[in-house]
């Protein structure tokens, strides 16, 4: 896609709209321009009735219709723009992806995260019509989009067993595949919500995949001597991941709630 992205910013806070305008204009690639602003859902719907745009940067908590309700209305338009939610609240992440949002950013928005979201929008708009969602994918199934060998792979969140930060990347593991993401683990944790549990500073695990918790001798780090620590088994791949001491109680509780 060679043309400039046309962006509508919807947020009830003027300073938030001003900051987003500046971040959008600073994006080196893809080029993007804020072509309109709205302080609430009613203003946004009036604006969209007369003018097209490629993307709506959408706050969630607003007077009147909230952002998720507005997103549902936008999806009914003849040519709906892409949606990226921008909010101070992380608890709506799964609902946002149910609405086929391209991304979910939490305030204060980091420049690199917004630019990554704009790149995802450009990639989606550059695909043939209908390629953004696989035909067999359930309409209400949230996904994680993986860029792999020049193509986009949409991994259903229900298939994700764990996400583990390693060096500059995050490994996403399903029962059959391993994918590599360049998203930050903290951002993924905010987007995925309560389905996943942070077991260590470098790992998120799907609650349903947690199995046995054991105490074992762990490999030494650096010059430290090997010491005992906690590990949890992730099913069905039968892999063991290290659990930090502060998260042991939470992992025990999650396993107990799973009836295991």
The residues spanned by each domain of the chain are: 5-125, 143-257
**71 in Cβ contact with 58 (< 8 Å):** yes
The pLDDT, as a whole number, for residue 132 is 39
Residue 92 has pLDDT above 70, yes or no: no
> pLDDT by residue (tens digit) across 73-83?
999 998 999 99
Question: For 129-183, how does the pLDDT look when each residue is reduced to its tens digit (9 = 90+)?
Answer: 333 344 334 444 688 888 776 677 888 888 999 999 987 889 999 998 899 988 8
Task: Give residue 238's pLDDT.
Answer: 87
Place of tokens 């305008």: 21
pLDDT at 209: 94
What pLDDT does residue 10 have? 97
Mean pLDDT rounded to a whole number for the chain: 84
According to the model, what pLDDT value does residue 93 have?
55
Confidence of residue 259 (pLDDT cuts 50, 70, 90): very low
What integer pLDDT is reported at residue 129 of this predicted model? 35
Report d(CA 239, CA 208) in Å as an integer: 14
Residues 58 and 37: beta-carbon distance below 8 Å = no
Is 5-125 in CATH node 3.40.718.10?
no
Same CATH fold assignment for domains 5-125 and 143-257: no
DSSP per-residue letters across 158-218: GG--EEEEETTEEEEE-SS-EEEE-S-HHHHHHHHGGGEEEEETTEEEEGGGEEEEEEEEE
Percent of the chain with pLDDT over 90: 50
Which runs of E-coded beta strand occur in 65-129? 82-87, 103-106
Query: According to the model, what pLDDT value does residue 97 have?
Result: 59
**Residue 247 pLDDT exceeds 90:** yes
Model confidence pLDDT, tens digit, residues 29-52? 899 999 999 999 999 999 999 899
Give the pLDDT score at 127.
Answer: 43
CATH of 143-257, picked from 3.40.50.2000, 1.20.1250.20, 1.10.645.10, 2.40.50.1020, is 2.40.50.1020
What's the CA gap between 46 and 44, in Å, rounded?
5
3 state DSSP class of 131: coil
pLDDT of residue 147: 79
- Over the stretch 196-224, which tens digit does the pLDDT of each residue have? 999 999 999 999 999 999 999 887 665 55
pLDDT in the model for residue 134: 40
pTM (two decimals) = 0.52
Q: In the prediction, which pLDDT does 98 show? A: 63
Give the pLDDT confidence score for residue 131 in this predicted structure. 38
Predicted confidence at residue 88, as pLDDT, reads: 80
| pLDDT at residue 128 in the model | 37
């Amino acid at each position: 896609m060679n043309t400039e992205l046309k962006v509508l910013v919807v947020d009830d806070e003027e300073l938030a709209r001003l900051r987003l305008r500046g971040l959008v204009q600073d994006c080196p690639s893809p080029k993007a321009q804020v072509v309109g602003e709205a302080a609430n859902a009613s203003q946004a719907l009036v604006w969209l009735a007369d003018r097209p745009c490629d993307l709506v940067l959408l706050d969630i908590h607003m007077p009147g219709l909230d952002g998720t309700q507005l997103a549902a209305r936008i999806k009914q338009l003849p040519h709906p723009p892409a949606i990226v939610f921008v909010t101070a609240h992380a608890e709506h992440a799964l609902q946002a992806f149910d609405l086929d949002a391209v991304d979910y950013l939490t305030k204060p928005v980091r420049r690199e995260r917004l630019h990554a979201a704009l790149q995802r929008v450009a990639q989606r708009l550059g695909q043939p019509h209908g390629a953004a969602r696989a035909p067999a994918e359930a309409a209400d199934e949230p996904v994680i989009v993986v860029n792999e060998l020049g193509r986009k792979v949409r991994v259903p969140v229900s298939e994700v067993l764990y996400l583990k930060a390693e060096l500059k990347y995050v490994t996403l593991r399903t029962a059959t595949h391993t994918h590599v993401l360049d998203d930050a683990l903290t951002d993924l944790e905010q987007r995925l919500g309560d389905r996943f549990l942070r077991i260590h500073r470098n790992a998120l695990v799907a609650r349903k995949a947690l199995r046995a918790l054991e105490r074992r001798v762990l490999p030494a780090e650096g010059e430290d001597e090997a010491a005992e620590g906690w590990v949890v088994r992730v099913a069905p791949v039968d892999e063991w991941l290290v659990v930090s001491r502060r998260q042991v109680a939470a992992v025990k509780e999650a396993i107990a709630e799973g009836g295991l």
